[in-house]
Structure 1
Amino acid sequence: MRGVYLPGGRRVDLREVPDPEPGPGQVVVGMRASTICGSDLRAIYREHLGEGPEAYQDVVGGHEPCGQVLAVGAGVERIRAGDRVVVYHISGCGQCDECRRGYQISCTSPRRAAYGWQRDGGHADLLLAEERDLVPLPDGLTFLDGACVACGFATAYEALCRVALAGGEQVLVTGLGPVGLATGMLASAMGSPWVVGTDPSPERRALARDLGAVDVAVEGDDGELQDLLGDGAEVTVDCSGAGVAQLTALRHTRRHGRCALVGEGGTLTVDVSEVLIHRQLTVHGSWVAPTWRMAELLERLARWDLHPERVVTDRFALDDAARAYEVADAGARGKVAIVRD
């Protein structure tokens, strides 16, 4: 089979590698869609900066896979050949407290391995996965919908659940990349009547408006946001990973409001007394989603008839993976996907 490797320095290698065989508790998934995440660009594609959970181990890339099960190993009970599945992109030990809560993302065992980082991921023809890492894809959703949920949409949904978004509340989203687009779309589906987005890129602001992900998209200076939000939004979510935007989100959270920090990276300097304590804000750090929340989101997306693939602006074949990464790295488009027929 073919697999995409990311050696750093903005290089992409397409290699021929052996087809995987399922062992006990494992399945082989035929890949149908695998999208590119900002963390892939930041910590693998550009240069290998990661340590710990972000340490790339020269494996097939792609941690947002979705496909159809082709073969199952001994002891597999829940999943059958032919099932359509989303792959939860971290395979945890299954025994630590975080895993038992469904948060394999925070697994504390040295056996923790993320698909596309420490074990082979979805930029390939086939993927070897643990049965416990698979979430059924509802019939009403496409494989590309599932790939978008595997990380980005699930991350956005977890953040909105953490801040307990209620119907009728205004939402401010800082950073209108794919996760920001997902946050805006989900906030509307969950009952927010007014979603404001900020981003320095005019292309991303235009895309957010065209997709209906936000009601208004602006560059994000304080004057603009005060005119739009007055005393601030009840809920704010930073999806940029940039310190200036993180501070914007906090400063424009209404008194007693809630803010979720989702975007990876950035250094935040904040006057704690003025911005946080005196305004009595609740701030959440939110890192991906547990498996049960991902399953809940997939069910609700089918019920809402909301298709995450709307945020995908560019689709490439596996042979064109290098071009796919170039487009994603330029930062002017929506989600970029590698798809198979």
Structure 2
Amino acid sequence: MRAAYLPGGSRVDLRDDVVDPTPGHGQVVLAMKASTICGSDLRAIYREHLGEGPEAYQGVVGGHEPAGQVIAVGPGVGHLTVGDRVVVYHISGCGICDDCREGFQISCQSESRAAYGWQRDGGHADLLLAEARDCVVLPDSLSYLDGACVACGFGTAYEALRRLAPSGRDELLITGLGPVGLAAGLLAAKMGVTTIVGTDISPERRALAVRLGAVTATVASDDDAGLDAALPRGASIAFDASGAGVAQAQAIARTRRWGRVALVGEGGQLSIDVSEHIIHKQLTIHGSWVTSTLHMAELLADLDRWGLHPEVVVSDRFPLEQVAEAYRAADSGRLGKVAVVWED
């Protein structure tokens, strides 16, 4: 089969002689249908191998946002059959610790924990070997590309929003309008928020956010007067998807008293006057990392009920043979989600 690897230095190595996987106990093999590219892949693997711990890339097939169809089932699998359409939760934990039992394999501390596309083969290949327990069935109304968008980006946004508990009474500030920020705006609107203001340094991404209906207004990241006008009382809830310290500080500073803030974007160094901006304002700040398999299934059901298709954030699609071009496009920082797709 064909499979793409990320050797660093902004390169992609596409090989066509990789051995097809076979399922062992509790495993399934998927024919890949969609595999989207995440900012963390760009930051910690594609540009150069910076990752340590959970981000330590082990030279495996890239891609941690996979969706596909089950074509082979190993022994001991009872809830999946050949033909099932699934999205893969992108971390495979030990399966027995408290975090794994609650569906938060992302927080598993076992040495056996392995993320798809980081420590075990991921979705940038024709076939994917997955643990059956990591697979969540897609509703019929959702496409494979919808599922791939949920595997990380929309799942991550949904988890943070659950913690913020948005409602129609809230005014939401989103700092960073990349794919996760777009997801946050689209989901928040379905949860009842009617005022959603987004900031980003990229005019292309601000325009895309407006076009998709992910925000009700956008402001350049450095336009303080524009933010004053858009949110004269400040935001009641804020969501940082930028991973940049200046935007993280902006999200906190622009949240009014008794507000709630979710920090989601990876990276960044934050320096802030804790007394002035957090304690005296009585803020609640959530650090939110990915989601759980339970909440992912909940999100898929919500998307089905809402009629919301995550693939709307995908601006560019490439076949696997053009995966290098796909990474270059994603690394431009001016687009929506970039996806590798297979013909159905």
Match of 1:248 in 2: 250
| CA offset digits 1:272-313 (Å, max 9, x no partner) | 010001110000000000110000000000110000000000
AA at the equivalent of 1:192:
V
How far apart are the structure 2 equivalents of 1:297 and 1:171? Answer: 20
Match of 1:312 in 2: 314
Matches within 5 A, 1:126-275: 126-220=127-221, 221-275=223-277
Deviation of the 1:164 alpha carbon: 1.3
Of 326, 329, 332 in structure 2, the residue corresponding to residue 327 of structure 1 is: 329
How far apart are the structure 2 equivalents of 1:47 and 1:260? Answer: 28
Match of 2:6 in 1: 6
Deviation of the 1:107 alpha carbon: 0.5
How far apart are the structure 1 equivalents of 2:234 and 2:295? Answer: 28
Match of 1:75 in 2: 76
Counterpart secondary structure, 2:339: strand
Match of 2:53 in 1: 52
Match of 2:305 in 1: 303
Counterpart secondary structure, 1:8: coil
How far apart are the structure 2 equivalents of 1:127 and 1:254? Answer: 46
Deviation of the 1:94 alpha carbon: 0.8
Deviation of the 1:227 alpha carbon: 1.4
Deviation of the 1:100 alpha carbon: 1.5
Normalising by structure 1, what TM-score?
A: 0.99
Deviation of the 1:140 alpha carbon: 0.4
Structure 1 runs (4+) greater than 6 angstroms displaced? none
How far apart are the structure 1 equivalents of 2:307 and 2:173? Answer: 24
Matches within 5 A, 1:28-67: 28-67=29-68
AA at the equivalent of 2:311:
E
Q: Percent identity?
A: 69
How far apart are the structure 1 equivalents of 2:41 and 2:180? Answer: 14
Counterpart secondary structure, 1:226: helix
Match of 2:104 in 1: 103
How far apart are the structure 1 equivalents of 2:52 and 2:98? Answer: 22
Deviation of the 1:168 alpha carbon: 2.7
Deviation of the 1:114 alpha carbon: 0.2
| CA offset digits 1:222-269 (Å, max 9, x no partner) | 322121111211110000000000011001112100000000000000
AA at the equivalent of 1:4:
A
AA at the equivalent of 1:152:
G
Deviation of the 1:145 alpha carbon: 0.3
AA at the equivalent of 1:171:
L
Counterpart secondary structure, 1:293: helix
Deviation of the 1:167 alpha carbon: 2.6
Please identify, of 257-266 and 200-209, the stretch whose mean Cα deviation from structure 2 is larger: 200-209
Matched residues, number? 341
Please identify, of 257-266 and 164-173, the stretch whose mean Cα deviation from structure 2 is larger: 164-173
CA RMSD of aligned residues (A): 0.7
Counterpart secondary structure, 2:60: coil
How far apart are the structure 2 equivalents of 1:210 and 1:102? Answer: 35
Structure 1: give runs of 5+ residues left out of the alignment: none
